[in-house]
Structure 1
Amino acid sequence: MNVSSSITAPVTGAVGRFFSGAGLLLRGIGLYVRSPGLMLLGIVPALISGTLFVAAFATLVYFVDDLAALVTPFADDWSGTARSLVRVVAGLAFLGVGGLLAVLTFTAVTLAIGDPFYEKISERVEERLGGTPGAVEAPFWGSLRRSVVDSLRLVAISVLVGIPLFAAGFIPVVGQTVVPVIGAAVGGWFLALELAGTPFYRRGMRLPDRRTLLKADRPTTLGFGVAVFVCFLIPLGAVLVMPAAVAGATLLTRRTLGQSIEPPGRPVRER
């Protein structure tokens, strides 16, 4: 069997590739839980960020009624039932977009706080898989600065995407069904881009490079990103899954670049 072709051969069909991408998160979790040292490395920055973002989202929940009233002044003279209905929809739109932005900004902030920790997790994953082909040396502060700048760019783009999603959230039924699905897909894509930053930087590749390469197999990238996004919505999920997501993103990067995601000596899996 040709090892190189089996690594790069795509799973047949977009749905199969999507679930293959989600499986990379499961493999990342497996790598993570079998390594107590990695668990200790990854949990501290996620706990710090998690505490901050839980407090911020709780504040949004507390004031969501006031915010809903603020953006729906046209309903002040409506009947009580109609006014309450439109403000419930507005409140749900605020919470939905707030949740989307919280997940994305949580990832950006946590990666910035825990850059040395997550760099080490990613390095150890690559060491187990035979090392990093094409690795380049990058100064810590320069790497951190580039990571923060790229994360801010991704957050800014996600905010621009979130505005029309917020507006669409006012549409009855569609705003409560279709929009959350679109939000998960958009959030998953940006999460995958953010999380894959560390292993791409290790190879001297910046945001435009990883955007282009991950887009080449969008279903796999979305499968991984959406799986992470859903986990991050679970209470404490972001704190517990974040380090495993970094490990999974390292696997995603290697697969995207046609590099083995199996330890040396182990037969390569057909995908």
Structure 2
Amino acid sequence: MRSVRDFTAGIGFFLQGVGWVAKNTRWWLFGLIPALIAFAVYVVALLFLGTNASDLAEFLTPFADTWGWRDLFRTLVGILLFLGGLALAVITFAALTLAIGEPFYEKLSAAVDPLETEDDQPWWRTLPRSIRDSLVTLLYVLMFTIPLFLLGFVPVVGQTVVPVLGAAVSGFFLTVELTTLAMERRGLARKQRFALLRRNKASALGFGVAVFLLFLVPFVAVIAMPAAVAGAALLVRTRLTPPPPPPLRPEPTHPGLA
């Protein structure tokens, strides 16, 4: 099936990104700096959430005060809150890292994906637009993840279907974030970027789900971030916006018909 091949190809673009930074270790080290800063922020936030998950679960479930199994229920709620926070951290890690390190990743993306002509603007001018676009993307993410979080309480479905759907949603929007740099360099606005990714949904999912699953592993997100940016640039260059066809040669003019 074509969709399976495209999904696999999406994973392949991330692996190509890994190969590119492995050959260009200077760029990999260059891309680690903003990722380390963002990682430190998320570690503090998740530690705070983890140590206060029980109190937050109790605050959110006053209706369970009279239940005989309230402690078990609130423990489950606390675990789901932490997992939800972890998933949100994974989804927004790319956005925060790109916002912190836009000048870094702009140069990395350009090195992977050189263009003859591009929409070249100083990073301080594009940063407000990038933050705004990331907030819009976050709203879309919440539209999906909040219902999925609630479905997580449903027996069986919450432990089987919901994690798969959650990975797919998170993966797609990770691809949205990671391909932004390469697409903006081509002068594509947010609506155009979304339209391209929807038309190539299987490839976008393959790339994003692979990155999402890796980002779930502590500290791997930091190490893999430069490779994810490189792979996203290759995905855009090869699959989403292929180079235009060469111009047609003018037909030869016959002297007798001139």
**What TM-score comes out, normalization by structure 2 length?**
0.89
Partner of 1:263: none
1:14 match:
3
Shift of 1:54: 1.0
Deviations 1:113-156 (A, max 9, x none): 10011011111111xxxx32552222332222211111111112
Q: Which of 126, 131, 140 pairs up with 1:143?
A: 126
Q: Which string of whole-angstrom CA distances, capped at 9 and with x for unpartnered residues, describes residues 183-242 of structure 1? A: 111111110001100011101112111100111110000000011100100010111111
| TM-score, length-scaled by structure 1 | 0.85
C-alpha contact 2:102 2:123 (8 A) present in aligned 1:
no
Larger Rg: 2
Out of 85, 99, 110, the position equivalent to 1:112 is 99
Q: Match for 1:181 among 136, 160, 164? A: 164
Letter in 2 for 1:77: T
Where structure 1 has 5 or more consecutive residues not aligned to the other structure, the ranges are 1-11, 261-271
Match of 1:152 among 129, 135, 138: 135
Q: Residue 187 of structure 2: SS of its match in structure 1?
A: coil
Mapped to 2, the partners of 1:76 and 1:133 lie a distance apart of 65
Corresponding residue for residue 41 of structure 1: 30
Counterpart in the other structure of 2:181: 198
Would you say the 8 A contact 1:28–1:251 is kept in 2?
yes
Percent identity, aligned pairs only, is: 46
> What code does the residue aligned with 1:188 have?
G
Aligned length: 243
1:26-65 map, 5 Å: 26-65=15-54
Q: Structure 1 residue 256 and structure 2 residue 237: aligned?
A: no
Cα gap change, 1:67 to 1:172, in 2 (>3 Å): farther
For the aligned residues, what is the CA RMSD? 1.6
SS in 2 for 1:167: helix
| Structure 2 spans left out of the alignment, 5+ residues | 245-258
Q: Distance in 1 between matches of 2:127 and 2:139?
A: 18
Separation in structure 2 between the aligned mates of residue 235 and residue 259 of structure 1, nearest angstrom: 37
Q: For residue 150 of structure 2, what is the aligned residue in structure 1?
A: 167
CA displacement at 1:74 relative to structure 2: 2.1
The letter for the 1-side match of 2:149 is F
Deviates more, 1:134-143 or 1:12-21: 134-143
Residue 66 of structure 2 aligns to a residue whose secondary structure is coil
The answer (yes or no) to whether the contact 1:197–1:206 under 8 Å persists in 2 is no
Distance 1:118 1:222 in 2: 22
Q: Please give the residue correspondences for 1:44-123 in structure 2 after superposition, counting only pairs within 5 Å.
A: 44-79=33-68, 82-123=69-110
Quick one: distance in 1 between partners of 2:13 and 2:181? 16
Separation (CA, whole Å) in 1 of partners of 2:130 and 2:8: 28
